[in-house]
Chains A and B, each alone.
Chain A
Amino acid sequence: MDPIIQINDLSVQFRTDTGITQALDGITFDVERGKVTAIVGESGSGKSVTANCVMRLIQPPGYITGGSIQCRPKANAAFDIVSLPDKDPLLYDLRGGTISMVFQEPMTALSPVLKVGNQISEAILCHRNVTKKQAWREASDMLEHVGIGDVERRMHMYPFEFSGGMRQRAVIAMALVCNPELLICDEPTTALDVTIQAEILTLIRDLQSELNNSVIFITHDLGVVAQIADYVVVMYQVRILEIGSVHDVLKDPLHPYTKGLLAAIPGTAPPGQRLQTISSVVDPKELETPYPLVTLNNGRKVSLPNNQIRKGT
């Protein structure tokens, strides 16, 4: 086991006029180097907050109230992302350098008034001491690498001239251009058609096996998890309910909530029958109780009371 990120007992609060909202409640998990770790959960489960913590993007009224995030880059010494001061140069290296991020909505991640080529070059110029010409050349190579043809012309185009799928490819190029060790993808295919989603998933999968970087992939779609990830972290209401390899968790879910999520996918129920819902599978009271995450003999982790953990595992 060689984690690039070790999140330990991380808690986040949002403090507003109407009171304090717990956005993460003591979560602990590792992101393995060279693997894809998916975080899956419903809206409000805390998956995006987790990603934003790793990039230190939590801003008031949000505060990290406890825990640590150990970052272990290949070449440099390990450090705790949480305890870095706001203006620490390490943070600037981290954002877009060691770690970069692909967001859900490509149109909000791209500036509408700058050429695509300039936006990708900018990422290079921020982190490396190269000429503009060199940056432009590398940007153009990267754009070609993510499957965009006719790059000479496309580098000079604006995001509005790109289709949704091409925009997301451009954002991926922007994220990869500085060779990040960790790529965080926050629902990168949710806004796309299923056909374009398949293309982008294939692209991310191919690039990952080629570059051998680590990926955190956030999604609410278990179909996407099954296709892209090696490990999966199941979150529900700011806690982690289950962690394991994708094969273990999706083929043999331990937590009833994970079972419920799988059963709620249309297409698993025979035609004519009603779909299962979470509440038809899990007792809500059971779900609200924050049982500690227990590590089983086979390395899987699950948040269940002792008497419900299967014998022999």
Chain B
Amino acid sequence: MKEVLLEVNNLHKSFEGVNAVDDVSFDLFRAETLGVVGESGSGKTTLARCILRAIDPDSGTIRFKSQNGWVDLHSLEENNFVPLRREMQMVFQDPFSSLNPRMTVRQIIEEPLVIHGEKDKTHRLQLVSQMLDRVQLAKNSLTRYPHAFSGGQRQRIGIARALVLNPSFIVCDESVSALDVSVQAQIINLLEDLQEELGLTYLFVAHDLAVVRHICDRVLVMRNGKVVERGNVEKVFSEPQENYTKLLLSAIPSPDPDIKLNPLDRKSLGLE
């Protein structure tokens, strides 16, 4: 029996009357990867941010199975939320703006430990070094600044920072979208290796359907704040039921020149 880690029910969030997240419900199982796909403006990032309470949802419930049992994230006071943030972390899209250029790699990866009260300096350094190994960065990276690293290496630093508190749940918000395809492959492999080793659970927000198909077990397809289709990723991709999913899939350019791009027409699908 699969164990539920996160339960989202009837989640709503609107900005100035626009429904960014509109009645979204789903369960997330431990050690699985759930993809969230859709065009820009479909509400996928807002959904991810509501779950981590980076923004407050208008209504609905979010329940998370922490080390100390179930908690209601939606009604938690900020003060009580802090210890929970050890267990849920985020890896951002832009490896440039998500790292402070004036902090060394050591300071960046160490900061979550400091915030969460790890007072022993030697222990902190030890954890940071272990993390560096985990994400396959050289030991001499510790004293260097983000500008000295390539996009892929910076994304590794971001992953190390997210993992240093030993969380169980990671939100990846377009975490590989800004990377070149060869570097993207390395980071995807790293995320998969880490999941296997540490039993991590990923909510994987992305607009690249090929990446989602590769890395995810299940997928939610979002449009205008609503989940329009969901299910096993292979099933959804090979037998899409909804016109919107069909539209998204038909727009992927194949690297095989014999398979001609023939995108479906939004109008004729009644999606305007």
> Is A271 a contact of B214 with CB atoms below 8 Å?
yes
B103 at the binding interface (Cβ < 8 Å): no
**Within the assembled complex, what's the spacing in Å between the Cα atoms of A195 and B40?**
10
B250 at the binding interface (Cβ < 8 Å): yes
B: contact size bracket:
35 or more
**Within the assembled complex, what's the spacing in Å between the Cα atoms of A22 and B250?**
41
> Is A195 a contact of B263 with CB atoms below 8 Å?
yes
A: contact size bracket:
35 or more
Contacts of B224 in A (CB 8 A): none
> Is A220 a contact of B261 with CB atoms below 8 Å?
no
**Within the assembled complex, what's the spacing in Å between the Cα atoms of A246 and B7?**
48
**Within the assembled complex, what's the spacing in Å between the Cα atoms of A202 and B260?**
11
> Is B254 a contact of A278 with CB atoms below 8 Å?
no
Contacts of A225 in B (CB 8 A): 255
Tally the A-B contacts, defined by beta carbons under 8 Å. 110
> Is B255 a contact of A222 with CB atoms below 8 Å?
yes
A193 at the binding interface (Cβ < 8 Å): yes
Contacts of B250 in A (CB 8 A): 198
Chain B nearest CB, measured from A260 CB (Å):
7
Between A194, A220, A223, A260, the greatest number of chain B beta carbons within 10 A of the residue's beta carbon is seen for A194
> Is B39 a contact of A195 with CB atoms below 8 Å?
yes
A274 at the binding interface (Cβ < 8 Å): yes
**Interface residues as binary, B247-259 with A (CB distance below 8 Å gives 1, 0 otherwise):** 1101111111111
A261 at the binding interface (Cβ < 8 Å): yes
> Is B207 a contact of A264 with CB atoms below 8 Å?
no
A197 in contact with B213 given A227-B260, A227-B261 (CB within 8 Å): no
A269 at the binding interface (Cβ < 8 Å): yes
Interface of A (DSSP majority class): helix
Contacts of A43 in B (CB 8 A): 151, 180
**Within the assembled complex, what's the spacing in Å between the Cα atoms of A95 and B248?**
37
Partner of B40, one of A193, A223, A250, A265: A193
Partner of B252, one of A194, A262, A277: A194
Contacts of B184 in A (CB 8 A): 264, 266
Using CB atoms and an 8 Å cutoff, list the residues of chain B in contact with chain A: 39-40, 151, 180-186, 188-189, 192-193, 207-211, 213-215, 234, 247-248, 250-261, 263, 266
- The 10 A-B pairs with the shortest beta carbon distances in the complex, nearest first, are A223-B253, A198-B251, A266-B214, A198-B263, A267-B210, A264-B185, A275-B185, A42-B180, A226-B257, A227-B253
Using CB atoms and an 8 Å cutoff, list the residues of chain A in contact with chain B: 42-43, 164, 193-199, 201-202, 220-227, 246-247, 250-251, 260-262, 264-269, 271, 274-278
**Other 13 A-B pairs with CB < 8 A, given A227-B257, A262-B255:** A193-B40, A194-B208, A195-B247, A195-B248, A197-B251, A223-B253, A226-B256, A227-B254, A266-B208, A266-B213, A274-B189, A277-B185, A277-B189
